[in-house]
Structure 1
């Protein structure tokens, strides 16, 4: 019983501090905040890496795994954006193909097919590009970080490209 009272007292003492601290009360995402305000592709590209950098700056004496975890959060955010952008671009490509139904029936290229080829090629290129980048750090434990940073940057740039293309 005494243990429960002490625990309750401790919780009551720290609860106001936790709820009064905005950083603890809500999750901060500098990349998402920046992106929400960006209006041009250049402004959107300036948002790449902000969440990852913010997370890394808050770590004391981080190990490679700590830094990788920071980066992974932002990579997942960009991958979700990329998935949504691919879907939006597919819808746009289908719309763009409709006026050319006769030509397509006669063998003309479809934008949806070209999109599929581009996405497949980009996925292969991005893997090879980032593997190549990481090879410069072959004997370093930070090799993984360089590969992750490459994946984050290239995924973000592809998401921005497809979002912009879908909006045309």
Structure 2
């Protein structure tokens, strides 16, 4: 009986550890492979979320609020890096192109478009979070929205021919 009480006390005193980021079974190679095999923009769009979904399926507790948020955030980071890479390339092309629209250089128009897009993305994802009425699903909904819209913008910047 004493051993049982000691075991119960130890279990109850042990800290409850939530799913940690390092516990996620995430790999961006799933999305990268999907993108490299996609024949067109529609195929590339279908790749959005593939790594996050696999992460949720392969991680114990991956469909918990914490698990979903973590997996979605990892893919968001992947797409954010792609977005920055593609924006830099589009900016270089726009600068070299030096076309003007109503007196505005194309590089300036690109910058203004990107700033407006950031405002749009943030407002859209705030609205999606609001649909959860303060519930715990709001976190994963927000991160999923940020991931999806960031991925779409990254693909747009790569495919748009800006500055060509």
TM-score range, shorter chain: 0.7 to 0.9
Whether contact under 8 Å (1:31, 1:49) holds in the other structure is yes
Structure 1: state its 5+ residue gaps.
Answer: 1-23
Aligned to 1:152: 147
Query: Contact 2:125/2:146 (CA < 8 Å) preserved in 1?
Result: yes
What is the Cα-based RMSD across aligned positions, in Å? 2.1
TM-score (ref. length: structure 2): 0.76
In the TM superposition, residue 43 of structure 1 has moved relative to its aligned partner by: 0.8
Tell me the matched-pair count. Answer: 137
Match of 2:107 in 1: 112
* Matched-pair contact (CA < 8 Å) for 2:68–2:140: yes
Q: Aligned partners of 1:82, 1:69: CA distance in 2, in Å? A: 20
State whether residues 88 and 166 of structure 1, in contact with CA within 8 Å, keep that contact through their aligned partners in structure 2.
no
Runs of 4+ in 1 over 3 A off after TM superposition: none
- Return the index of the structure with the highest Cα Rg: 1
After TM superposition, the score normalised by the length of structure 1 is 0.75
The 8 Å contact of residues 28 and 78 in structure 2, kept in 1 or not, is answered as no
Equivalent position of 1:73 in the other structure: 74
Cα distance in 2 for partners of 1:79, 1:109 equals 27
Unaligned residue ranges in structure 2 (runs of 5+): 1-24
Q: Which residue of 2 aligns with 1:88?
A: 89
Q: CA deviation at 1:28?
A: 6.4
Aligned to 2:5: none
